[in-house]
Structure 1
Amino acid sequence: MEYKVEDVSPVMKKVVVTVPAEEATAAVSATIAMYKMRTSIKGFRPGKAPASMIEAQYHSQIYNEATTDLVNLQINQIMGEMGATPLSRIDVDAKEIVKGEDFNYSISFEVAPEFKLPKYKGLAVEKEKAVVKDEELAEVEQRMLQNAAEVKVIEDVREPKDGEIASVSFATFKDGNPVEGLKAENFDLVLGEGQSLPEFEEVVKTLKTGEDGEKDITFPEDFINTELAGQTVTMKVKLHAIKERVIPELTDDVAKKAGGFESVEQMRQVIRDSYMHSREELNKSNAQKAMLKDLLDSVDFPLPESMVADRAERLVRDLEYKLDRQGKSFAATGRTEEQVREEFLPEAKETVKSEILLLAIAKEEGIEVTPQEIDAFLGRLAMQSKMPLHELKKYYEDNGLIMPLKDRIMSDKAMELVWENAEISEVEAGEEGEKKPAKKKAPAKKAPAKKAAAKTDEEKKPAAKKAPAKKAPAKKTAKKAEEK
């Protein structure tokens, strides 16, 4: 085998391969021999049928398999000798082997561009000082108290108000016929918290305990039940009872029930620490993004088109998945899939440029990723997704995602190296978001991770029935596997 490498562009290489007739014919003969051993021909014992008969009977399969096996074998050999790491799928331009003739074919693939690394050590970086306000902690306490509140029925016969819980039964009708999936019995609806359509709440708030009511309601165009989006229906409602939440005082007993804390003081300290850690990590992430942007602005190199297209496609598929979960489609956003893909191109280009730069730094610094680090990453992902580790790992292996994952981990390690070698100073945010230099420089040390014992973000509310809607079934979307 002989081959010649051509630089089609700074990021595209083409390899033209010439295989002598003898080598090509030998590949066909080897495949015929394998077919002979594993194929039964009537009238012959296994492995005893003439090679010519085997070749004639399975000609198409044999020559196709021989060509594929030979090309794959030689691609691995060529990549090893070139020391090349394709960033894209390897495109093969080859016809089928012909016995007794030289076999010529070519392969094309994209590689990382060559460029001079910018200075990435000793960079001056500002990181906003982490601050937790008392008002934020008070909001968390209030939510915890609301979750611990006791619900009591209000005996007065009157109309319900925002903040109260209305126990209702309702049904929906279209042209006099009941609409399946849009009815409920003794459904508790918290008023004024956006759990249902405003028009539906208006009906409920006009009723007194024990009363019935009805109203024509037009669903919005982006209603979760696409079949009813924009349609007008009649909703009939009965108010059974009005309930109120009795908020308890914050005591050690309430703190213990809320999160297993020993005291109110311990609960507040844990919440503050958790908030502070989250804020530190967020501010560090923002500072790293700004630092990376400065690095990217200091270099210029061509981007592999297939990588950009692949990243854009992934962003499109991610958005499609999120819309599916909401029972929506691209049409509901007022954009076509092509328009969405075009909008994602700038983000895709920035992602690819970042990855190429960080991988170049990793190569310069001799950073490597061990199998144990890959397993540890997948282990954390399996816990988050509540998916068995062996199934998740098999999915990544079957879809060619191990190498992209390795590159991601390597990029993260390169980012940490740049961060640890930066000159970091803390700044304080002004009242209008302007940053003022702090008097002291904070050491560029990584804050130790603390395990948060309490939720500090607003807890998710249970899925609300917007005059309840039946969720449209989610379409299955297959993410395109990244191949190298």
Structure 2
Amino acid sequence: MEYQVENISPVEKKITVTVPAEEVNAALGAAIAMYRKDVQIDGFRKGKVPSSIVESKFKSQIYQEATNDLLNVHINQIMGELNLQPLSGLDVDAKEMVRDQDYIYTFSFENVPDIDLPEYKGLSGTKEKVEAKEEDIQEVLDRVRQNMASMEEVDEDRTPKDGEVAVVDFTAEYDGKPVEGGEAQNFDLPLGEGQSLPEFEELVKTLTPGEQAEEDITFPSDFLNKDLADVTVNMKVTLKAIKQRVLPEVDDDFAEKAGGFGSAEEMRKAISESYENSRNQVAKSEAQKAILDKILEQVDFPLPPSMVENQIQAQIKQQRERLERQGKSLESTGTSEEQLREEYRPEAESLVKSHLVLLAIANKEELSVSPQEVEQHLYQMAVQSGQDFQTLKEYHEKNNLMYALRDQLLADKAMELIYDNAEVTEVPAGGSDQESSDEDDSAATENE
């Protein structure tokens, strides 16, 4: 077997492989032997069918298996000899082999670019000092109180207002015919939360319990249900009742119901600790990014196009999903996918550059990730997302995502190594690098 390497670009390679006829025949012979061992054909004993008959009867399968075997052996051998690290799937151009003839095929891929790493240990950085304040604790308590609030009917003859829930019956008609899904009884409509059309909420807020009203209302052009976009319907609504949230008092009974705490004071302490742990993680991530940015400023190398493209596509997908949750579509915003691509490209390139630099550092430091670590991370992902672990694992394996997951864990380890070897000082909330140099007397050194 011989091969030639062609550098399409600094990160793209094309390799042409020539397999001599003798090796082609040997691969076919091995595949035929595997089939011949188990095949059963009338008139012949098992394992005694002539090779020519086996080849004729199972030619398609035999030639495909022989081709796959050659490709796997050769590609792995070439990658090892050249010490190449493909970043993307291989694009293989391989036609069917022909007995007694040389076999030529090509495969192309993107390779990890050469990165001349600057010094990445001993860098300086700052981390925001985190301390839970009374207003932070109270904000969490208020959210818990909102979640545990009871809904009680308002015993007043008045119109409802934002923050309350209107209990309504309503129907929607178009051209005198009911709109599918446009009817409900005793429907709880939260007011002021943007969960309904603004015009409909305003109509409801003109009524007192027992009153009825109707009005023509036009759905917006970006309404998720395309059949109703820009359509004007006649809405009839009856206000049945008004409910308001009654918040519980923060006492020992509330603390026990909220999370099994022994007292309100114990709950406050737990909230404070949880807040500080969470904010510390955010502060640490921000400090890590600032330190990594110092490294990135000192390196320049070509980025693999497919990695940038995949990152852009992931961001576009996230934007589409965000809009769908709001009942909108990307097209309805007046922004084209091409515009989004250009908007997202700088961030995508930055993320890819960061990832590759961290992988280069991981390689230089001989960091590794075990299969057990990958599985543990997958398990945590399953728990957090509420998915079945085995299903999630099979999805990653089927879609060749296990290597990407491993690389992300490697990059995380490299970032931890950089941070652990940096000179990081704590600064007051909102502090900057300049402020930290002016306040050395009060700043606490986290890493020596």
TM-score by length of 1: 0.84
2:445 is matched with 443
Q: What is the Cα deviation at residue 48 of structure 1? A: 4.0
Q: Secondary structure at the match of 2:284?
A: helix
Structure 1: distance between partners of 2:11 and 2:261: 58
Q: Number of aligned pairs?
A: 445
Q: Partner letter of residue 271 of structure 2?
A: I
2:366 aligned with 1:366 = yes
What is the SS of the residue equivalent to 2:435? strand
Secondary structure, aligned partner of 1:307: helix
SS in 2 for 1:425: strand
The Cα offsets for residues 364-387 of structure 1, whole Å up to 9 and x where unpaired, read as 111111122112101111101222
* 1:141-170 deviation per Cα after TM superposition (whole angstroms, max 9, x unaligned): 333333444433233322223333321111
Residues 179-188 or 401-410, more deviating: 179-188
Partner of 2:166: 166
The aligned runs of 1:274-313 (5 Å cut-off) are 274-313=274-313
Q: 1:334 to 1:18 in 2, by over 3 A?
A: same
* C-alpha RMSD of matched pairs (Å): 2.6
Take 2:105 and 2:378, find their aligned partners in 1: how far apart are those partners?
Answer: 39
Conserved in 1, the CA contact under 8 Å of 2:169 and 2:240? Answer: yes
Which whole-Å deviations, capped at 9, do the CAs of 1:73-104 have from their partners, x for residues lacking one? 21122223333221122222333222222222
Normalising by structure 2, we get a TM-score of 0.91
Bigger mean CA offset, 410-419 vs 386-395: 386-395
Counterpart amino acid of 1:270?
A
Which residue number corresponds to residue 350 of structure 2? Answer: 350
Indicate how the Cα distance of structure 1 residues 285 and 371 shifts in structure 2: closer, same or farther if over 3 A, else same: same
Distance 2:270 2:316 in 1: 39
CA distance in 2, matches of 1:253, 1:95: 75
If asked which structure has higher relative contact order (CA below 8 Å, sep 6+), I would say 1
Deviation at residue 417 of structure 1 after TM alignment: 0.5
Aligned to 2:122: 122
1:227 Cα deviation after fit: 2.1
Higher alpha-carbon deviation: 355-364 or 383-392: 383-392
**Contact 2:423–2:447 under 8 Å retained in 1:** no
Other structure's SS at 1:196 match:
coil
Give the residue type in structure 2 aligned to 1:441.
A
Report what 2:199 is aligned to: 199
Kindly report which structure 2 residues correspond to 1:322-333, keeping only aligned pairs within 5 A, or say none.
322-325=322-325, 328-333=328-333
Deviations 1:193-241 (A, max 9, x none): 3332221121111111111111111122222333212221111111111
Give distance in 1, aligned partners of 2:218 and 2:98: 69
Structure 1 residues 251 and 199, CA, compared in 2 at 3 Å: closer, same or farther? same
CA separation of 1:160 and 1:9: change in aligned 2, threshold 3 A: closer
Tell me which protein shows more helix as a share of its residues: 2
SS in 1 for 2:272: helix
Map of 2:396 onto structure 1:
396
CA displacement at 1:40 relative to structure 2:
4.6
Partner of 2:16: 16
1:258-298 CA distances to partner (integer Å, 9 max, x unpaired)?
33222222222222222222221111111211221221111
Residues 202/376 of structure 1: CA separation in 2 closer, same or farther (3 Å cut): same
CA 1:38–1:171 in structure 2 vs 1: closer, same or farther (change >3 Å)? farther
* 2:415 match: 415
